[in-house]
Chain A
Amino acid sequence: MMVADVIFYLFATVTVLSALGVVGARNPVHSVLFLVLAFFSTAGLFVLMGAEFLAAILVMVYMGAVAILFLFVVMMLDVDFSMLRRESVRYLPMGFVVGAVMLAELGLMMAHHPGEGLHLGLDNTDNTLAIGQALYTRFLYPFEVASLILLVALIGAVALTHRERKRVHRQDISTQLARTKEDAVELRKVASGEGA
């Protein structure tokens, strides 16, 4: 067995186990941490396939941003997870059916195309460069349109949720700086022995 095979099976096992951990962990925070582990092991698998750019993106975007946001949401939402868990047991049989069907499909696919198509042909190219060149030349137009879609999503989210709040004390730096001793400080003569 090659060293690469050993590493592959190691990463693959960790990916599957941590994915099980995501759904199985009692503590939701542990679930998110397992998710981070699953992302990381998948990134390892990408590196083994020679797709180092995807691996880097997975680590930076999914682990660095998405998973951390999940963690925020989980910690901030006051959800009764034990209740949710009791409910979810009822969906277990259906989940198994769906899983079994997917496994059968995967098996069929493997039986017809043993190992074919798994080779990405990315071995000796710098794929950050390749992706960058494709994205900013051939796919520049779709790329720019995609950025507009993200902009609309941003505008939409703000427009539909932002509310003008009354009675909120905002910091107004120019007013603060314009304050003088005269309108801020009042000097009083307090008779001796009567000051609070």
Chain B
Amino acid sequence: MAVEQLDIHLVLMMPEILVAIMAMALLLLSAWTHKGGAGVIHWLTMMTIVAVVLVIQVGSGTATTFGGQFITDDFSRYVKVVMCLGMVLPVLMSADYIRGHGMDGGEYHVVTMFAMLGGMIMASSGGFLILYLGLELMSLSLYVLAAWRRDDRCSSEAGLKYFVLGSVASGLLLYGISMVYGVTGGTGFAEVASFLGKPEGHGSQLLALGVVMILAGMGFKIAAVPFHMWAPDVYQGAPTPVTAFMSVVPKVAAIAALFRILFDVFPTYHVQWVPILQLFAVLSMAVGAFGGLVQTNIKRLLAYSSIGHVGYMLIGLVANSQAGAQGVLVYITIYLFMTVGVFGLIIAFDRQGLGENISDYQGLARKQPVMAFVMAMFMFSMAGIPPLAGFIGKFSIFMAAVKGGFIPLAVVGVLFSAVGAFYYIRVVKVMYFDQPEGEFKVTLSGGGFIVVSLSLFMIFFWGILPGDLLAWTGASVQAFH
């Protein structure tokens, strides 16, 4: 039997290889040094991610390897940098949270790195098989991370719930993939797309069902309604740094995978997927807006907030245009900094022993005006109030929707964003207008200070001068359409 000649160019995969090798090396280091090496591993993790970002920058152009199973292009590089930020910032701000809650001992960082690696594989995937494997690598790591505080009942519950529901979602996704394979006879994106380009590739009911199943599976991973049930419990129960990580990296990865599936593989099936995503978007915005109104726990509130944000991002996908794709990238980048900043503050409150209830922040502005101001800015940005960056994100999404002819969807989006603004501003009201009950001595750790001030700077900077961000994202989505 002749050995098949393959195009294997490992140099294209350097970022992934670097993450995998460093994760395994740190695993060995943590086993060797026991608890003593936790500090070293913490710093090595961050240095690795910085190195990965540099390596990603080296690449240019579009190239594939392993018979098209791995794609590297401007889009995947942009998304991977966002994921690296979504990983390194929570790690940076949570050094003493990890120590204080008995989560130290290296393995935590190793599993986080594997989760990010899974996300990077998804963003670069060139076929359903490797997409699924990347997704499983990421999800399995996240299930473990959610349950990391195993002596805490909420954390164990979060891990178990996420695991059981996530497995069902993976099953749905795999079932959908099997249908696509059954109809088209291939799992590679290019193979499937070329089959769909032929006359016999049109109007297959089974294929449409497969697309629906795939969307359901991916919808679960980004917590889009009606697949959002797990999000509030998991966000609340998981350790706070994990929640920060979980609300950014998996969403970025799954959205990136949706880009490839929808725009590269099924552009001819947009009649099927546009209405479905439209429904997801409207429902997500509704649940995000109204569900958040009654929450008392800040992490649950942020879970509903993230469901709402996913709704807005889906509008960008529905617009099915380059402007829409660019809007999604702009939104998700800004969302990263807002989310990480807020979680940085929650970790700082946790350091002082404050609870996670919104009522615990009563009168914070009287005692610590700077902290309250920073929190208020993040909340205003999430609500989408100019001149903060959250506004730019929503603006570019809604503009894309209007240009694409989805005017009712844009109107509904604006209305729900007004409803959602209520609960963000309620947090501000509790901090500024309620009487303080006790003393506040909230201080940021060194890493926390860097993360929160960087996030604050970015949401002001991009809110006023979004030019760079728009240029980067615009260049990254050239490949689509």
Point out residues on A near B: beta carbons under 8 Å: 125, 129-130, 133, 137-142, 145-146, 148-149, 151-153, 155-156, 158-161
Contacts of A138 in B (CB 8 A): 4, 6, 66-67
A155 B121 Cβ-Cβ under 8 A: no
For A156, give the chain B residue with the smallest CB separation. B144
**Given A130-B1, A142-B130, A145-B134, are A152 and B66 neighbors across the interface (CB < 8 Å)?**
no
Contacts of B121 in A (CB 8 A): 145
Contact of A146 among B1, B67, B133 (CB under 8 A): B133
Interface of A is mostly: helix
B117 A148 Cβ-Cβ under 8 A: yes
A125 to B70 alpha-carbon distance, docked (Å): 30
Contact of A155 among B8, B20, B27, B67 (CB under 8 A): B27
Q: Which size bracket describes the interface of B in this complex? A: 20 to 34
A125 to B1 alpha-carbon distance, docked (Å): 9
A153 to B150 alpha-carbon distance, docked (Å): 16
A155 B110 Cβ-Cβ under 8 A: yes
B4 A141 Cβ-Cβ under 8 A: no
Q: B114 interface residue, CB < 8 Å from A? A: yes
Contact of A152 among B1, B6, B140 (CB under 8 A): B140
B111 A159 Cβ-Cβ under 8 A: yes
A145 B137 Cβ-Cβ under 8 A: yes
Contact of B133 among A142, A159, A160 (CB under 8 A): A142
6 CB contacts below 8 A, A to B, read A130-B1, A141-B130, A145-B134, A148-B20, A155-B110, A155-B111
B111 A141 Cβ-Cβ under 8 A: no
Q: How far is the CB of B376 from chain A (nearest CB, A)?
A: 38
**Given A140-B8, A145-B121, A149-B133, are A160 and B144 neighbors across the interface (CB < 8 Å)?**
yes
For A143, give the chain B residue with the smallest CB separation. B133
B143 A156 Cβ-Cβ under 8 A: yes
A149 to B137 alpha-carbon distance, docked (Å): 5
A133 B133 Cβ-Cβ under 8 A: no
A145 B111 Cβ-Cβ under 8 A: no
B136 A160 Cβ-Cβ under 8 A: no
For A146, give the chain B residue with the smallest CB separation. B133
B144 A149 Cβ-Cβ under 8 A: no
Contacts of A158 in B (CB 8 A): 107
The 7 closest A-B pairs by CB, nearest first: A156-B144, A145-B133, A141-B66, A159-B107, A152-B114, A149-B137, A152-B140
Interface string of B121-150 (1 = CB under 8 A from A): 100000001100110110011011001101
Given contacts A129-B1, A145-B134, 6 further A-B contacts (CB under 8 A): A140-B8, A142-B129, A142-B133, A151-B24, A159-B144, A160-B148
Contacts of B147 in A (CB 8 A): 160
Q: How far is the CB of A64 from chain B (nearest CB, A)?
A: 26
Q: B271 interface residue, CB < 8 Å from A? A: no
Contacts of A133 in B (CB 8 A): 1, 3-4
Contacts of B8 in A (CB 8 A): 140
Contacts of A153 in B (CB 8 A): 140
Q: B381 interface residue, CB < 8 Å from A? A: no
**Given A138-B4, A145-B130, A145-B137, are A152 and B20 neighbors across the interface (CB < 8 Å)?**
no
Q: How far is the CB of A82 from chain B (nearest CB, A)?
A: 29
Q: How far is the CB of B52 from chain A (nearest CB, A)?
A: 16
**Given A133-B1, A142-B69, A142-B129, are A155 and B134 neighbors across the interface (CB < 8 Å)?**
no
Q: How far is the CB of A147 from chain B (nearest CB, A)?
A: 10
**Given A137-B3, A160-B150, are A152 and B137 neighbors across the interface (CB < 8 Å)?**
yes
Contact of B137 among A139, A148, A161 (CB under 8 A): A148
Contacts of B114 in A (CB 8 A): 148, 151-152, 155
Q: How far is the CB of B229 from chain A (nearest CB, A)?
A: 23
Contact of B69 among A141, A146, A161 (CB under 8 A): A141
Q: How far is the CB of A54 from chain B (nearest CB, A)?
A: 18
Within 8 A of A (CB), among B48-95: 66-67, 69-70
For B117, give the chain A residue with the smallest CB separation. A148
Contacts of B150 in A (CB 8 A): 160-161
A159 to B108 alpha-carbon distance, docked (Å): 9
A191 to B143 alpha-carbon distance, docked (Å): 70
For B3, give the chain A residue with the smallest CB separation. A133
**Residue of A137, A138, A148, A160 with highest tally of chain B CB at under 10 A:** A148
Contacts of B111 in A (CB 8 A): 152, 155-156, 159
Contacts of B20 in A (CB 8 A): 148
For A141, give the chain B residue with the smallest CB separation. B66
For A153, give the chain B residue with the smallest CB separation. B140
Contacts of B107 in A (CB 8 A): 155, 158-159
Contacts of A130 in B (CB 8 A): 1
Q: How far is the CB of B391 from chain A (nearest CB, A)?
A: 39
